[in-house]
Amino acid sequence: QYDEIVFTDPFQSFLTLLTAHPPTPLPRTGKNPTPFHTSYPASLEETRKPGVPEFTSAMEKDEGERLEEAKEKIIKEQDKWKGILLDREKELERLQKLLAARG
């Protein structure tokens, strides 16, 4: 895999060369299956093995799943707080009307 580079106005021959060769896909399993991250305690033992960490398609899939779970958790949290805010705004409006009526 490689990082994406943007060429604003490449020569046609160079553009053809770039578009004719798609990126190399990630391997299904790595030669050195050392995890890239160390945020999970279970993976710490794996990082002590010699070798350079490699990305694999399984690692990419796992990371994508973790990101999706985090997004869902954030959306649920936002919905919860939106509901609380709406309830508080209704309560404020009710109290303001009550105060104005006594006023």
Model confidence at 91: pLDDT above 90 = yes
Rank 35-39, 55-59, 99-103 by mean pLDDT and report only the highest. 99-103
Model pLDDT, residue 17: 82
Whether the CB-CB separation of 54 and 33 falls below 8 Å is answered with yes
What is the average pLDDT value for the chain, to the nearest integer?
Answer: 80
This prediction has a pTM of 0.46
How far, in Å, are 49, 56, 61, 65, 80 from residue 94 at the CA level?
A: 64, 57, 50, 44, 21
Q: How many CB atoms lie within 10 A of CB 26?
A: 15
In angstroms, the CA 12 to CA 18 distance is: 10
